[in-house]
Amino acid sequence: MESELRSLIHLMVARHATDAHLTLRFGRLTLRLRCPERMIDDDSGMFDGRLLHYLKYISHLDLGAMSTPQSGSFTRQYQDRLLQFRFACLGTQQLQTGVLRLLNLQDLTRIEEICNDADKCALFHALCHQRHGLALLSGPTGSGKSTTLHALMHEAATFNHLQVITLEDPIEITDSSYVQLQVNEKSGFTYEVGIRELLRHDPDIIMIAEVRSVETAHMIVRAALSGHMVFTTVHAKSCTEVFARMREFGVLMHDLRQTVTFVSTQRLLLNAERNGKECIYEVLHGEALRRFMEEERLPAGHLSIEEEIKSAWERGRIACGVLEEEIGQ
């Protein structure tokens, strides 16, 4: 099955696909690729149901757990680089589905390669110099949060020579310029345990991949209150929704006022050339952030993510049709 996997990888790279969706129903496998412009069906017939089981095997998943959601990861050499993959599956006795995500199709390690807005780039560069506080990056699934986060960590470690330690589950983008720790729930190395351990290693910057629980949220805030610079991500659709999500985790607004120094939300949209993606950001920082946390309303002149998307469309940065899909105009 290794040759079929190689063919799938070649197909994903050639189509610039981030994900391959596999569905096995009554012994028949269907394959769809998430490409820059749309989902594409593969009708080549070169893949069969054994590929899905092989992906489970090389991702170190339980082959007998047919109805239990599972996820794992693996790497493969492709041409002159090592590609990283994450595989997630779920199903029933009659239906099995899996999603194979290619994590590092492109080497996006610099802010300028992700963000084409000079003002936003300047804010991100300044953020990499901060030595205390809490930066909350947000956006829906697939919006590029991890890519942005790792680009910031790379800059802080490589150009600012700061001691960066991350805690991730899984490690999606490998970078030798900083220390990356992998959460392992089975062995007891949870987010909570990991945060306690990494605080003992004198970090300048702590990156927690995602706020997933009440306890993790509180430990992140405590780490920021102790004088560290902490970065993390939150599933939220706007900068203002970030605060609502944190409060859902039981974090007090008082503690957020004491720690939060930067908030962003982002969308990954089809670019004007229709051959790649453009990342659009809404950012809340400085006086605007302080005023929002005090008054819970955005200051005049602040652009929401919808307004940022509209502005990008007007400047020819994103494809026609994207505006209507994103903000319904």
| Spatial separation of the C-alpha atoms in residues 325 and 323, rounded to whole Å | 5
User: Are 227 and 143 in the same domain?
Assistant: yes
Question: What is the domain extent for residue 30?
Answer: 2-102
**Residue numbers in the chain where pLDDT is lower than 70:** 105-109, 323-325, 327-329
Q: Which of 77, 102, 127 is the last residue of a domain?
A: 102
* 154 and 179, same domain (yes or no): yes
Give me the helices (H) in 15-144, please: 50-58, 111-114, 118-127
Domain of residue 76, CATH code: 3.30.450.90
Do 168 and 217 belong to one domain?
A: yes
Question: Rounded to whole angstroms, what are the CA distances from 70 to 8, 47, 56, 181, 183?
Answer: 21, 22, 9, 20, 15
- pLDDT reported for residue 2: 94
Peptide bond into 36 cis (omega under 30): no
For residues 64 and 171, membership in a common domain is answered with no
Residue 58, CB-side half-sphere exposure with 13 Å CA sphere: 16
Q: Is the same domain home to 7 and 81?
A: yes
Do 258 and 283 lie in one domain? The reply is: yes
Q: Where are the alpha helices (DSSP H) in the chain?
A: 2-14, 50-58, 111-114, 118-127, 145-158, 191-198, 214-225, 239-248, 253-259, 286-295, 305-314, 322-327
One domain, residues 231 and 296: yes
User: How many residues can be counted in the chain?
Assistant: 329
pLDDT computed for residue 324 by the predictor: 63
Same domain for 163 and 26: no
Amino acid at 5: L
Query: Can you give the pLDDT at residue 28?
Result: 92
Which residue among 43, 67, 102 closes a domain? 102
Point out the domain boundary residue: 102, 128, 150. 102
Whole-number Å distance between alpha carbons of 158 and 206: 15
What confidence score (pLDDT) does residue 287 get?
94
Question: Rounded distance, CA 118 to CA 116, Å?
Answer: 6
Per-residue pLDDT of 146-205, as tens digits, reads: 889 999 999 999 999 999 999 998 787 888 899 999 888 888 998 889 998 998 899 999
Residues 181 and 320 in one domain: yes
Co-location of 130 and 218 in the same domain: yes
- Asked if 112 and 147 touch (Cβ cutoff 8 Å), the reply is no
- Specify which residues 164 forms β-bridges with: 205
Q: Are residues 171 and 58 in the same domain?
A: no
Answer yes or no: do 57 and 139 share one domain.
Answer: no
What is the C-alpha to C-alpha distance for residues 261 and 4, in angstroms, rounded to an integer? 48
Our count of domains for the chain comes to 2
Alpha carbon 324 to its chain centroid, in Å, reads 24
